[in-house]
Amino acid sequence: LLRVLAGDQGPYVIWRSLVDAIRERELNADAAHMPLVEAIDNFDSALSAGDPGELLTRLEAVLLAAADRGATFVIFEDLQHADAASLELLLEILRSLAALRTAFLLTLRWGDLPTETALAGFLAEVSEERLAERLILAPLSPRHVQELTRCLAVGLPNKRLSEARRAWVWSVSEGNPKVAIECLLELAQMAPGETPKAEALPAELQARLEARMAPLSATARKLLLAAALVGREAALDLLSLACDLEDQALADAVDELQATQLLRVEDDKILFVWNRTRYAAMNQVGRRRRRVMQDSLRDAMLKLFAGRRLRVAEALAAHSRGAARPVSALRFEALAAQRSLRQ
């Protein structure tokens, strides 16, 4: 089981990791399998030379020798981070599966996939292979996340989770079992009666998402914060007005955000694939900056919906509360209640 990490780690990173894992297993074996040892040495030499054809031949020899010890099952997790050279070699290896006595399980997060990359081309090619099977795993349902939470919570100091804690696990994980487990580990560090804030994230998850946001320019970060404060989807005309961006600056910032694969843009709206991305964007700035942006969003909404404020009264109330304008919040809450009665 090998996890492909994000970031530039040079060409053929997944194959270097696999051969290193096979080498380590061989070193721990009771008796060395000399054909495998020799095959690994030859792979190292081919890797140094950088000839793709020779590298393929040597890698096939490693897999064949490894299969002498038994059938080989390789799992590459998070393949969306793999480099182009690794994917080209993987495609050739997959075309020789029957002869290599090796099975591969390739996992990737569909919501993170860009549309025009080496990975997109690789997936299109693999889909034509006779031995390839594609499985799409849907997120867990709220009931299944609750069941997972119940089963795993036995290791927590207070084994029975409160309704608020269960709601937080679902809000952050949205059906992702790995994130649900991270949430439970975070809860294990808290006092029994403590409940995380709604937008709180496990520390490691927050750090991973912040790392993906790190390359963003100041303008793109500002746009991301504004969109996160609006909600799961945010209209670009509102965001551009709130952030005071001209068309070109807005387009450049949107391109930056899409490149992170943290969100999508459809029909002149920014759409967050996961709520946790919104939470991470909000968590990495201080309360004062959030308050200032909430004020800008409130003002922008008042301009865009002049004469139609009843339609957005609830959102205006929320931004007024976030901007620490209690009187304004009460006024728009009253309008929202009035609209609700009319409906």
Can you tell me the distance from the alpha carbon of 137 to that of 147, in angstroms, rounded to the nearest whole number? Answer: 18
Question: pLDDT-derived band of residue 246, with 50, 70 and 90 as boundaries?
Answer: very high
Question: pLDDT-derived band of residue 110, with 50, 70 and 90 as boundaries?
Answer: low
| Of the candidates 111, 121, 65, the residue with the CA atom closest to the CA atom of residue 90 | 121
DSSP result, 198-248? TT---HHHHHHHHHHHTT--HHHHHHHHHHHHH-SEEEHHHHHHHHT--HH
DSSP result, 62-99? HHHHHHTTS-EEEEEE-GGG--HHHHHHHHHHHTTHHH
Distances (CA, A) of 98 to 60, 62, 130, 156: 12, 15, 11, 46
Question: Rounded mean pLDDT of the chain?
Answer: 87
Asked if 236 contacts 282 with a C-beta cutoff of 8 angstroms, the reply is no
Longest dimension (CA), the chain: 82
What pLDDT score was predicted for residue 343? 67
Q: Across-strand partners of 104?
A: 74
What pLDDT score was predicted for residue 55? 93
Least confident range of 4-13, 112-121, 313-322: 112-121
Question: pLDDT-derived band of residue 157, with 50, 70 and 90 as boundaries?
Answer: low
Question: pLDDT-derived band of residue 97, with 50, 70 and 90 as boundaries?
Answer: confident
Distance, C-alpha 239 to centroid of its chain: 23
What pLDDT score was predicted for residue 128? 85
DSSP at 151: H
Question: pLDDT-derived band of residue 158, with 50, 70 and 90 as boundaries?
Answer: low
- DSSP H or E segment with residue 103: strand 102-106
What pLDDT score was predicted for residue 342? 75
What pLDDT score was predicted for residue 206? 92
Question: 61-76 burial by CB neighbour count: b if 16+ within 10 A, else e?
Answer: bbbbbbeeeeebebeb
What pLDDT score was predicted for residue 194? 83
Query: Can you tell me the mean pLDDT for 228-249?
Result: 95
167 pLDDT above the threshold of 80: yes
Distances (CA, A) of 329 to 34, 218, 283, 316, 321: 75, 29, 23, 7, 6
What pLDDT score was predicted for residue 216? 93
Distances (CA, A) of 168 to 145, 173, 191: 11, 8, 16
What whole-number percentage of the chain has pLDDT above 70? 94
What pLDDT score was predicted for residue 8? 65
Asked if 207 contacts 260 with a C-beta cutoff of 8 angstroms, the reply is no
Can you tell me the distance from the alpha carbon of 302 to that of 281, in angstroms, rounded to the nearest whole number? Answer: 24
Per 3-state DSSP, the chain is made up of helix, strand and coil in percentages (nearest 5) of: 65, 5, 30
pLDDT tens per residue across span 269-309: 999 988 899 999 999 999 999 999 999 999 999 999 988 88
Query: Can you tell me the mean pLDDT for 46-66?
Result: 91
Highest mean pLDDT among 23-27, 58-62, 189-193: 58-62
